[in-house]
């Protein structure tokens, strides 16, 4: 039997949580409905009572809950983040996902029995950094940045003793793991502390003749023809004119899909396979989670069987990202 892989799945609402659990998630990760998590969009996330109910639903079906508290406390006001850690521990989450070093220190001392995972927002990608977090705060797992090849992950796992978790599906980010300086510059709101890239209050759609124009703050991000779907305006995936040609200057809209290299990730010593998409709906959750559940289960038979997820991928395109750095 191939070593057990955890399928770590997103949920932005109680309905999405139930959908993820029912479609085979081993773990559901989520956040509170405030600035303490990095998907702080209107209408998403969990109140304390909703989290309590979600934990009960998941635990009754042998599924764990990880609470993301992965933004950075504002100077002089750490209380909302401390409260999130306290409430998560009190409600019985199975782990908290933290990025801020001060918050890790608080959690390690205030709740010594609470399992701590290092968020991808911390961008820890070398043995020395991970050893520090393990020795200082007793972290049990690190979520690796999406910049490492499979060979690099293999080498890293040989030098550390904590578990590793990697992203296998969803949107990519050109910035340092979501800490978007572009969004901060355009909107005046930092994703680091407010928990949202391209906040809804700064988003506008305007008709311009036959085109739909998307704006973020005072900046035009994209212009879509009548037959094009109008995507959400994030500056990194904006289409801009340079040298007379409109193109995606920072990053093409494309989704990571690592289903085809699950055997290699397993051999690399990875423990958790993470799906991105807490801002996505139930249909997305059901299709992606069930596909990866089948793919992981099929590994036991020495093969990978996964459905085609291109239709729900960003830009209807997929990539293996940095896992296969052919340019090296």
Residue 314 lies in a domain: yes
Residue 248 has pLDDT above 90, yes or no: no
Residue 226 has pLDDT above 80, yes or no: yes
Residue 183 lies in a domain: no
Residue 133 lies in a domain: yes
> 58-78 in b/e burial notation, b at 16+ Cβ within 10 A?
beeeebbbbbbbbbbbeeeeb
Distance CA 200, CA 220 (A): 15
* 16-20, 32-36, 80-84, 246-250: least confidently modelled range: 246-250
Question: Which residues neighbour 86 within 8 Å (Cβ) at sequence distance 6 or greater?
Answer: 110, 111
Task: Copy the structure tokens of residue 26.
Answer: 């081993």
pLDDT, greater one: 173 or 122: 122
DSSP 171-199: E--SSSTT--HHHHHHHS--HHHH--SS-
User: 93 and 57 in one domain?
Assistant: yes
- Pairing status of strand 211-216 against strand 219-224: antiparallel
Distance CA 322, CA 298 (A): 24
Backbone angles phi, psi at 211, to 5 degrees: -105, 155
Q: Sign of the CA dihedral 125, 131, 30, 275?
A: positive
268 three-class SS? coil
pLDDT, greater one: 105 or 325: 105
**Which of the four pLDDT bands, split at 50, 70 and 90, describes residue 68?**
very high
Residue 2 has pLDDT above 50, yes or no: no
Q: What's the whole-model pTM score?
A: 0.87
User: 159 and 66 in one domain?
Assistant: yes
User: 233 and 167 in one domain?
Assistant: no
Residue 182 lies in a domain: no
pLDDT at 61: 98
pLDDT average, residue stretch 262-272: 95
**The last residue of a domain, from among 215, 248, 281:** 248
User: 105 and 15 in one domain?
Assistant: yes
pLDDT > 90: percent of the chain: 56
Q: What is the mean pLDDT of the chain?
A: 89
In this structure, what CATH number is given to the domain that contains residue 267?
3.20.20.70
pLDDT at 48: 98
**The last residue of a domain, from among 232, 248, 264:** 248
pLDDT at 233: 80
User: 93 and 36 in one domain?
Assistant: yes
pLDDT average, residue stretch 176-205: 72
Count of structural domains within the chain: 2
User: 268 and 239 in one domain?
Assistant: no
Dihedral through CA 199, CA 200, CA 206, CA 210, nearest 10?
90
Pick from 11, 27, 118, 2: nearest CA to 70: 118
Q: Tell me the residue range of the domain where 265 lies.
A: 6-172+254-323
Task: Copy the structure tokens of residue 130.
Answer: 């991970």
pLDDT at 153: 96
Query: Could you tell me if 295 and 26 are in contact, meaning their C-beta atoms sit under 8 angstroms apart?
Result: no
User: 124 and 69 in one domain?
Assistant: yes
User: 88 and 20 in one domain?
Assistant: yes
User: 211 and 260 in one domain?
Assistant: no
Q: What share of the chain is helix, strand, coil (3-state, %, to 5)?
A: 35, 20, 40
């Amino acid at each position: 039997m191939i070593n057990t892989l955890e399928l770590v799945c997103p949920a932005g609402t109680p309905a999405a949580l139930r959908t993820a659990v029912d479609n085979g998630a081993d773990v559901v990760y989520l956040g509170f409905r405030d600035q303490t998590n990095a998907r702080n969009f209107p209408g998403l996330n969990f109140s304390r009572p909703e989290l309590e109910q979600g934990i009960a639903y998941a635990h009754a079906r042998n599924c764990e809950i990880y609470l993301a508290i992965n933004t950075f406390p504002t100077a002089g006001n750490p209380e909302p983040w401390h409260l999130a850690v306290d409430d998560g521990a009190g409600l019985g989450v199975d782990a908290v996902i933290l990025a801020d070093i001060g918050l890790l220190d608080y959690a390690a001392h205030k709740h010594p029995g609470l399992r701590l995972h290092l968020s991808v927002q911390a961008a820890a990608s070398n043995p020395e950094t991970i050893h520090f977090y393990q020795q200082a705060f007793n972290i049990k797992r690190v979520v690796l940045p999406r910049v490492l090849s499979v060979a690099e992950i293999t080498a890293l796992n040989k030098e550390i003793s904590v578990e590793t978790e990697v992203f296998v599906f969803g949107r990519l980010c050109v910035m340092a793991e979501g800490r978007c300086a572009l969004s901060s510059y355009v909107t005046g709101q930092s994703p680091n502390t407010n928990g949202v890239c391209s906040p809804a209050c700064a988003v506008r759609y305007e008709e311009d003749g036959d085109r739909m124009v998307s704006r973020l703050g005072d900046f035009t991000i994209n212009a879509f023809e009548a037959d094009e779907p109008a995507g959400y305006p994030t500056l990194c995936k904006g289409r801009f004119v340079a040298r007379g040609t409109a193109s995606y200057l920072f990053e093409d809209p494309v989704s990571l899909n690592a289903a085809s290299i699950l055997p290699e990730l397993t051999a690399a010593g990875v423990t958790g396979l993470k799906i991105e998409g807490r801002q996505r709906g139930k249909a997305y959750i059901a299709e992606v989670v069930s596909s990866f559940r089948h793919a992981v289960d099929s590994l036991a038979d020495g093969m990978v069987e996964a459905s085609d997820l291109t239709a729900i991928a960003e830009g209807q395109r997929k990539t293996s990202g940095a896992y296969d750095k052919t340019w090296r």
